Structure 1
Amino acid sequence: MPTSASQEVLVQQSPSSRPGRPGGSAPNSLAGFNETSFLARVLPAPGQWRSVPDVSDRGFWGAVDTPTRQAILQRAEDFRTREWPVLTARGWRDFVETGNRTMYEDRYFGRRRRTVASALAACLTDDPSWHDDVLDGVWLMLEETTWCVPAHDYSAREDGPRLPDPDRPFLDLFAAETGALLAWTLHVLGSRLDERSPLARARIVEEVRRRILVPQRTDDTWSWFGRSGPVNNWNPWINSNVLTCSLLLDQDRDDIVTTVSRVLEGLDTFVSGYPDDGGCDEGQMYWWRAGASLSECLEQLYDATGGALDGYALPKVREIARYPHRVHIADDWYVNVGDGPARTEAADTVEPHVLHRFGRRTGDEEVVAHARYMRGDGAATLPRLSLGRSLFALADRDWAKAPASASPAPLPLQAWWPQTQLLTARETEGQVDGLFVSVKGGHNGESHNHNDVGTVLVAVDGHPALVDAGVAQYTRQHFGPRRYEIWTMRSDYHNVPNVDGHEQQPGKEFRAREVTADLGAERVDVRLDLAGAYPKEAGLVRFSRQVTFSRGEPAHVSWHDEWELDHDPESMTLHLITSAEPVLGGGGIRVLTPGRALRITYDASGFRTPSVERIDLDDRRLSGVWGPALWRIALSPLRPGRRGEWSLDLRAEPVG
């Protein structure tokens, strides 16, 4: 029987010392592990993967530290004061008919959050009332016609049926996650469910087999699988949950081998398509369902095979682990690109233990330190949507022990992702105080794309001042042909120019050109040509942007744009999105932050009086990050000309 994650000491072995490798050598890709004879030899028999202690291990559950125990039980009690959410046909059809996702999804995820919290409370207390609550949640999910959400299911197509078809199970993110939730629940609480009714066990096994495992093993058309084109976070997210379902519930060894083989095929597509620099073009929040879910797959495979299947040794995997702490600004603020929000507060997807384990497996102390920082001095885990993530956190002895105090964030001086074309740099390594700058190149066909090639973000003392809005609550429009009618997606609402009335266009062909970065101890310099991100009608020959961050006294950012068109334009406008209402005057703009202000100066004689637009945020996702409003500044030269330039100077200054 393989050793479990809860028992193992995470020490990196050299590639030559790891057991059971195909051909006796270290594969350079996940596909190198995908040999049937190797998998049949190293994978556990059905029912033999015992990765975390079940409810009967009262010594383990009784030893969970007091802060973690109290936090979990309080969350579970809060859920128990409410009625179980009801899923209705009207809620499902609301998405089909209006594009609104929240009427159904709020209730759908409410069921799962409560079941996770109740399952953890049941393990901690072994109280029959919690076992009954878990059974209620399990039974409600088993009775659902589909585990998919309307936005992902074929049944939500306008030309299809108006309600989900139980004979056409669709394997999306949340169907897979539901299957894993049920599998983990049975793993840790199966004996208590059996006491209430053995039928619960039988139905969990059968429904997960029918809705998750058989579709994964038999259907090659899933877009997330990778045989029909590029993949994104769906691939590792679904695969991590499918692995759980197979390792815990499959009753035939050949089925486990087939499932793992197909998981490896899909993951190899995902990793092969990932840039060598480890950058996540979906943004830091989606990293928790891209890079983090990849690490969950690798951990289950490593643990289930006793270390024989070790994907952590791949160099690209190590770079993927380094992304979150290198885009960290301060507190819960991060550089955001695409649909990723700028802060992680109360996010369901964020489980710091996943990052901590990832850092230990890859031997990166900064990754480990950032995970410790994210945890602070509080609970080892909180009930979120993933029961498996919480169970692994509690079963990891190194992580589960209560910290004496909060750990500092590593706060690296700077980072550059050459393939992703993203820069982050701060004034002083290890310190929040001072300026923080990010510059993005890339293209406009990225996953969860915004038209944002060339955008610049600036924070002062850890507080974002020049910002990217992020994304509102998802609707059908966000993933349809009218996506770029949404203001948060448009380049006119990013810190880039409008060229003679033309915005950037979506598509991989609309990209930055001639991108270079020079990183030094005293100065960072990024240059890129934005012309390729605009349509031919804009008439751009070039639009050169140079952003130079100087760490002298005082530290400042020099921002210089220079353009050439094939005609005399009627207008050129630079838009700047700010987190606070800007104060105009004296040839400059001041953006107040909770500490100091960001001062933006320019040659006012060459510009019209800037216009300022307040953008009221009536969406809960946007307002949850930024508060009630953002602001958009428009800077337009008096005489733009066929050739022209402008320069900005940005630095921090006292508020008074």
Structure 2
Amino acid sequence: MTNRLFTENKNIKENVKNDIFLKQQVERIKSDSEKFANKDIAALTYTSFKKFYVTGSRKEYEYEYFLHRRRLNDFAILNILYDDEKYRLCLQDIIWSILDEFTWALPAHIPQNTDIENCITHIDLFASETAFALAEISHILSDKLDKTIVERIKYEVYRRVLKPYLSGRKNSWDCLENNWSAVCAGSVGSAFLYFGTDEEIQTVLPRIKETLEYYLKGFGDDGACVEGINYWAYGFGYFTYFAQLLYQYSDGKDNLFDNKKVENIAVFPQKLWFKNNNTVTFSDCGDKFTQRSGLIHFLKQKYSQIAVHDDNCSLEFDGDGCYRFAHLIRDFAWRKNNIKVQTESENGFYYFKNAGWYIKRTSNYEFAAKAGDNKESHNHNDIGVFLLNVGGDKIVTDPGRGEYTSDYFSSKRYKYFPPSALAHSVPVVNGIVQQEGEEYRGNIVKATENELIIDCKDAYNDCSLKELTRKFEFYDDKIVLNDKFAFDTDKNDVTEHFVFDVKPTECENGLKIGNTEMCYNVSDFECKINEVTYASNYNKQKTVYTVDLKHIVKTKTVETKFEFNIKNTWKERK
């Protein structure tokens, strides 16, 4: 039945002819491939493999690992488009090198002191993705590749991934309610559809589907992804890729798309699109709205309410630092040249009750806030946090993801700035910042077009705190924030903490941040402004500015008021 699978790949040459974006990508891939064509393939060394376990640094090993996948992507695409012996030989060489890798899993995902056999057959995100990519490349290009390459691909995919899974061995992601379950189960399931016998496929399908059900459990019925838009594209992308292959394999009888929750998940990202391709940066999310255009174009055919944005936010061939073939090939195979794009965001508000998210977009500003709990996937300690963009510029910000290291995903996580409470615009109460844990949570009490109220009391480990309510009032040209604190003891310290993308300056009525004024009663507070530079992904440095406004009067109840007066400059710049 493999002749039914991914027949869309036959559209790629025609798509490139008619699609300016794809033509540009092909030219860039050609140029990129020239850097590899006459350069030896670097081996993945034991020294760099071991370094993660010694120092916690991921970047040394992963740089070369993902460079292998970049080569694979380049030469696979070029072989699909052209009959060129140079490209064919380069593709076979990089496939051979990947087949020679000690393990397809990353050191960061393999427990230390794992025995050799389990290292080789450890199925993590990237082992499963590699199996999927090689199986799909073999399926598309079997007539171009040497028989030895085709046979060895199948042998290694079986040895490292399919046989261990068939054996019933448990995986850490089998029951996870986040992107891991979708990526791993989707990739393993897809590799089975390409290489497995019908008997093997029927054996594993119930287990694959069960894991995908766990993935869907990670969403409420509102479809919101608390991990943010990047992890939405990652997890839901691989869910979609497997679902479509399964639909084709079963000749339409097995349809995972016929599910209202799946539909709600599919339409979620378009609600996070802000001017200048900014987005909501809750959790470990990047700060730009990006889309895998093939994925979005495909989903548009399934669900008519999907909004397709223009290619200013489409990821290019090298926009994914992990170089995932499944994403890239579907950008080429699934894009529709005549699809209508949406160039302006729709004004209005969205309330995601299950996730505890609120998003509001107007012609003057964009706002987002959240409640939830402090044990979410890729959690940050951020109950009551809010973001404010004005005229396409970030004003009140959230740093998003930090650099991924071993400690970042350990008990030391909140010693890093990005996931800590101090990286978020939330109060500090009696010197206590929010802590991690499901018991530290908030609740949206009211969410309307003009008002948002969040109960944040349970986000703090302070038994004297009896009330902490954040209320936002929304107007055309301003947002008013009122915080109300109540204690059962006297003399309490309240510090209002804010995080800005640009450096604020003190003025007569409060603070000036870009073209926005944050006005408050300056006589009530001591103001301290700090500059914080931190490591983002792969050691990129970012800088934000924190402001601590310490309430001078220590009383049993404290009420604060801040007005964000907004000057719209977006129309002037367009």
Please, what TM-score do these two structures have when normalized by structure 1? 0.81
User: Within the alignment, does 1:425 sit opposite 2:364 as a pair?
Assistant: no
Distance apart, 1:635 and its partner CA:
0.7
Cα separation, 1, equivalents of 2:506 and 2:384: 24
| Residues 473/188 of structure 1: CA separation in 2 closer, same or farther (3 Å cut) | same
Distance apart, 1:224 and its partner CA:
1.2
- In structure 2, stretches of 5+ residues that fail to align are none
Cα separation, 1, equivalents of 2:317 and 2:556: 60
Matching residue's letter, 1:614? E
Q: Is the 8 A contact 2:56 2:405 kept in 1?
A: yes
Distance apart, 1:67 and its partner CA:
4.9
* Correspondence for 2:453 among 512, 524, 527: 527
User: Within the alignment, does 1:288 sit opposite 2:243 as a pair?
Assistant: no
| Residues 509/59 of structure 1: CA separation in 2 closer, same or farther (3 Å cut) | closer
Cross-structure match for 2:365: 435
Q: Is the 8 A contact 1:493 1:575 kept in 2?
A: no
Cα separation, 2, equivalents of 1:457 and 1:171: 37
- 1:389-438 deviation per Cα after TM superposition (whole angstroms, max 9, x unaligned): 33333333xx24377x975144342211001010110123xxxxx11111
Cross-structure match for 1:354: 295
* Correspondence for 1:314 among 259, 280, 298: 259
The within-5 A match list for 1:18-167 is 44=1, 47-52=2-7, 60=14, 63=17, 65=19, 67-82=21-36, 83=39, 84-154=41-111, 157=112, 160=113, 165=117
Cross-structure match for 1:169: 121
User: Within the alignment, does 1:303 sit opposite 2:248 as a pair?
Assistant: yes
Matching residue's letter, 1:147? W
What's the Cα RMSD here? 2.7
Cross-structure match for 1:5: none
* Correspondence for 2:543 among 629, 635, 639: 629
Distance apart, 1:621 and its partner CA:
5.4
* Correspondence for 1:209 among 158, 162, 167: 158
- 1:161-186 deviation per Cα after TM superposition (whole angstroms, max 9, x unaligned): 5x954665111000011111111221
Cross-structure match for 1:401: 337
Cross-structure match for 1:496: 426
Distance apart, 1:261 and its partner CA:
2.3
User: Within the alignment, does 1:413 sit opposite 2:343 as a pair?
Assistant: no
Distance apart, 1:558 and its partner CA:
0.8
Cross-structure match for 1:237: 183
Matching residue's letter, 1:231? E
Distance apart, 1:220 and its partner CA:
4.9
* Correspondence for 1:575 among 497, 500, 503: 497
* Correspondence for 1:363 among 267, 283, 304: 304
Number of residue pairs the alignment of both structures matches = 567
Cα separation, 1, equivalents of 2:386 and 2:172: 33
* Correspondence for 2:378 among 436, 448, 464: 448
Distance apart, 1:290 and its partner CA:
2.3
| Residues 587/622 of structure 1: CA separation in 2 closer, same or farther (3 Å cut) | farther
Matching residue's letter, 1:356? H
Cross-structure match for 1:247: 193
- In structure 1, stretches of 5+ residues that fail to align are 1-43, 429-433
Cross-structure match for 2:414: 484
Q: Is the 8 A contact 1:276 1:419 kept in 2?
A: yes
Distance apart, 1:511 and its partner CA:
0.4
Cα separation, 2, equivalents of 1:279 and 1:189: 38
Q: Is the 8 A contact 1:67 1:379 kept in 2?
A: no
Cα separation, 1, equivalents of 2:376 and 2:417: 18
* Correspondence for 1:472 among 396, 402, 409: 402
Cross-structure match for 1:615: 532
Distance apart, 1:292 and its partner CA:
2.7
Q: Is the 8 A contact 2:32 2:74 kept in 1?
A: no
User: Within the alignment, does 1:223 sit opposite 2:178 as a pair?
Assistant: no
Cross-structure match for 1:33: none
Q: Is the 8 A contact 2:501 2:545 kept in 1?
A: yes
Cα separation, 2, equivalents of 1:53 and 1:484: 45
Matching residue's letter, 2:456? L
Q: Is the 8 A contact 1:236 1:297 kept in 2?
A: no
- 1:495-550 deviation per Cα after TM superposition (whole angstroms, max 9, x unaligned): 0011011011111111013632123xxx2x1111111011145x211101111112
Q: Is the 8 A contact 1:379 1:402 kept in 2?
A: no
Matching residue's letter, 1:105? E
Distance apart, 1:238 and its partner CA:
1.1
User: Within the alignment, does 1:549 sit opposite 2:474 as a pair?
Assistant: yes
User: Within the alignment, does 1:268 sit opposite 2:223 as a pair?
Assistant: no
* Percent of aligned positions that are identical: 24
Matching residue's letter, 2:142? G
Distance apart, 1:575 and its partner CA:
1.0
Cα separation, 1, equivalents of 2:375 and 2:245: 32
| Residues 373/307 of structure 1: CA separation in 2 closer, same or farther (3 Å cut) | farther
